[in-house]
Amino acid sequence: MTETLLGEKNPLLKQVRRAVARGSLTEDGFAVAESFHLLEEALASDCEIGVVIAAESVKSAVAAHVRGLKRTRVVAVRDAVFAEIASTEATQGVIALVRPPAWTLDQLLRGRSLVVVLDGVQDPGNAGAIVRAAEAFGGTGAAFLKGSVSPYNPKSLRASAGSLFRLPVVAHADQNLLLAAIDHKRIALYAAVPRAKKGIADARFAESCAIVIGGEGRGVSQALLDRATAVRIPTSGVESLNAAVAAGVLLYEARRQRGTV
Amino acid sequence: MTETLLGEKNPLLKQVRRAVARGSLTEDGFAVAESFHLLEEALASDCEIGVVIAAESVKSAVAAHVRGLKRTRVVAVRDAVFAEIASTEATQGVIALVRPPAWTLDQLLRGRSLVVVLDGVQDPGNAGAIVRAAEAFGGTGAAFLKGSVSPYNPKSLRASAGSLFRLPVVAHADQNLLLAAIDHKRIALYAAVPRAKKGIADARFAESCAIVIGGEGRGVSQALLDRATAVRIPTSGVESLNAAVAAGVLLYEARRQRGTV
């Protein structure tokens, strides 16, 4: 373990600051994983950890977490400097730079697929909660179509509670390539639509399928609606549900139909 | 309709600013409902609208929304002043001060109850999404136990998408009073717990029941665990779900068991 007190203008810190501001990976391809919980999830995963940045006041706690992992480098920065790069207001003082696994669409669509497709989901908290629900209910992957938030936005990563280190995920997915792959593999495509005729209990989620979740404001795009079977979550009184809640209900229903409840 | 250009130091604006900062009602008991969507939901509800505050640049659009409602007062403020009181960064320039209905625990627990109990849920986005899901799946109400975020936090209200103007909700609910009322009415109490033995499909949500959702970090409190039947959402690979996703799945399962899917 190396400890270096990095200065404010250090290139590594600049990269982190930019990734937080942009809601993306760093230029070197690392995800900004902030919190002890995410550090633990990263350590338990197969992901490469580039470096762990600790606020000076908690550097021994951070060092204790990575003890025994000789190849993990910990660097400390002054608390005031850490507060500036942190993506949360109530920061715990630890950021791990984690290289997320690279996945292909084929890997998402393997076996008896259950893929969630994010179509214009903008809220990083919702996006992360969707990935977490997808892993929880036996999803085989999540495709983030272009126009959605990045799964590697630090806020998405935090809301995923570590699921992004494990579940196959494709960022900036091309809609046409996804549709072609789905056709080729004969995977059924569903879209959650408020006033659809078919209820989700009548969908056939036990077969290989992909389920589209639309963005918070706009819903599912017309191009996907034209191709998908529209299904309705049985609600009353409201226009729609929160995107993550809708995804959770659909994925739970899929798990129920697959007999793994 | 009255139009007045309020100055920055106006007492009404001070009240709004404080309510946004505290995440609560204003001192006069109004909820800060920010966005055109919430204004429309408030207008469609039975709630009293105290005043509508519009940023100067959108005041005619706001006026068009409330046209014909002679008793609704619209006041305009300079855009820069509005931006300071707004609770969102990408503000639409409209805030309605809405008096939410007052409900008692008895009103939540009426008929074949389906009450969601928020036990230490801190995230306002989750809290609002839970209320929205409760209305959507036929819930009879939501009880926010002391220690949870306020349902009238402007961010909760926004995440509820207007459900808070309709669903019976009790804020700062006393745990002992709630348990006494539940006992008295012989309502079954369930709590969502990650490693519980009983799956939610085996719970009897078709009967009158209340379901406890724990806070994001801590989960359900021991006092409630001692009284409730623990039920497990069938997940794998993750420690837990996002609180709003968990609530959505439980409420959907209740609706499914009640045969209204």
Burial class for B18, CB neighbours closer than 10 Å (0-12, 13-18, 19+):
middle
Nearest CA-CA distance, residue B243 and chain A, Å: 9
Q: What pLDDT does B33 receive?
A: 96
pLDDT at B36 over 60: yes
Q: What pLDDT does A3 receive?
A: 65
- For an interface test with A, the pick among B123, B130, B156, B241 (most A C-beta atoms closer than 10 Å) comes out as B241
Average pLDDT over chain A, rounded to an integer: 93
A89 φ, ψ (degrees, to nearest 5): -75, -45
pLDDT band at B70 (very low <50, low <70, confident <90, very high): low
Q: What pLDDT does A65 receive?
A: 85
Q: What pLDDT does A183 receive?
A: 95
> What's the gap between Cα A67 and its chain centre?
28
Task: Please report the beta strands in chain A, taking only residues with DSSP state E, as ranges in sequence order.
Answer: 5-6, 31-34, 48-55, 74-77, 94-99, 114-119, 141-145, 169-173, 188-192, 198-199, 209-214, 229-232
**Residues B118 and B127: beta-carbon distance below 8 Å:** yes
Q: What pLDDT does A32 receive?
A: 96
pLDDT band at B88 (very low <50, low <70, confident <90, very high): confident
Residue in B with minimal Cα distance to A232: B261
Q: What is the mean pLDDT of residues A38-63?
A: 92
pLDDT in tens, A178-200: 999 999 999 999 999 999 999 99
Q: Which two tokens mark A173? A: 């997915």
Which residues of B make CB contacts under 8 Å with A?
A: 125, 129, 132-133, 135-138, 159, 161-163, 166, 199, 201, 233-242, 244-249, 252-253, 255-256, 260-261
* Run of H or E including A249: helix A243-257
B254 φ, ψ (degrees, to nearest 5): -60, -45
Query: What percent of chain A is predicted at pLDDT more than 70?
Result: 97
Half-sphere exposure of B221 (CA within 13 A, CB side): 13
Of the candidate ranges A68-77, B132-141, B244-253, the one whose mean pLDDT is the lowest: A68-77
Of the candidate ranges A36-45, B36-45, B69-78, the one whose mean pLDDT is the lowest: B69-78
Q: What pLDDT does B102 receive?
A: 93
Q: Which two tokens mark A76? A: 């400390």
Nearest to B115 by CA among B100, B97, B137, B82: B137
Sheet holding B114-119, edge to edge: B169-173, B141-145, B114-119, B209-214, B188-192, B229-232, B198-199
Residue in A with minimal Cα distance to B133: A241
pLDDT at A148 over 90: yes
pLDDT at B147 over 70: yes
* Run of H or E including B80: helix B79-85
Q: Which two tokens mark B163? A: 């459900």
Q: What is the mean pLDDT of residues B187-197?
A: 95
- State the Cα–Cα distance between residues B21 and B35, nearest whole angstrom: 17
- State the Cα–Cα distance between residues A191 and A147, nearest whole angstrom: 17
| Helical packing angle, B59-66 and B36-44, nearest 10° | 20
Q: What pLDDT does B3 receive?
A: 65
Residue in A237, A245, A260 nearest the CB of B244: A245
Label the pairing between strands A94-99 and A31-34: antiparallel
pLDDT at A233 over 90: yes
pLDDT at A84 over 60: yes
- State the Cα–Cα distance between residues B1 and B52, nearest whole angstrom: 10
- State the Cα–Cα distance between residues B126 and B149, nearest whole angstrom: 10
Nearest CA-CA distance, residue A225 and chain B, Å: 23
| Helical packing angle, B124-136 and A243-257, nearest 10° | 60
- Residues 6 or more apart in contact with residue B165 via CB below 8 angstroms: B41, B42, B45, B47, B98, B100, B101
Residue in A163, A234, A244 nearest the CB of B244: A244
pLDDT at A247 over 80: yes
* Run of H or E including B229: strand B229-232
Q: Which two tokens mark A183? A: 């056709």
For chain A, the first-to-last Cα distance in angstroms comes to 44
**Residues B139 and B116: beta-carbon distance below 8 Å:** yes
Largest CA distance in chain B: 61
B188 DSSP β-pair partners: B209
pLDDT in tens, B46-58: 899 999 999 999 9
Q: What pLDDT does B2 receive?
A: 53
Q: What pLDDT does B260 receive?
A: 67
Q: What pLDDT does A70 receive?
A: 67
- State the Cα–Cα distance between residues B34 and B94, nearest whole angstrom: 6
Q: Which two tokens mark A97? A: 């730079």
Is A241's CB within 8 Å of B159's CB?
no
- Complex ipTM more than 0.90, yes or no: yes
- Cβ contacts of B233 on chain A, cutoff 8 Å: 136, 252
Average pLDDT over chain B, rounded to an integer: 93
pLDDT at A152 over 90: yes
Residue in A166, A245, A249 nearest the CB of B237: A166
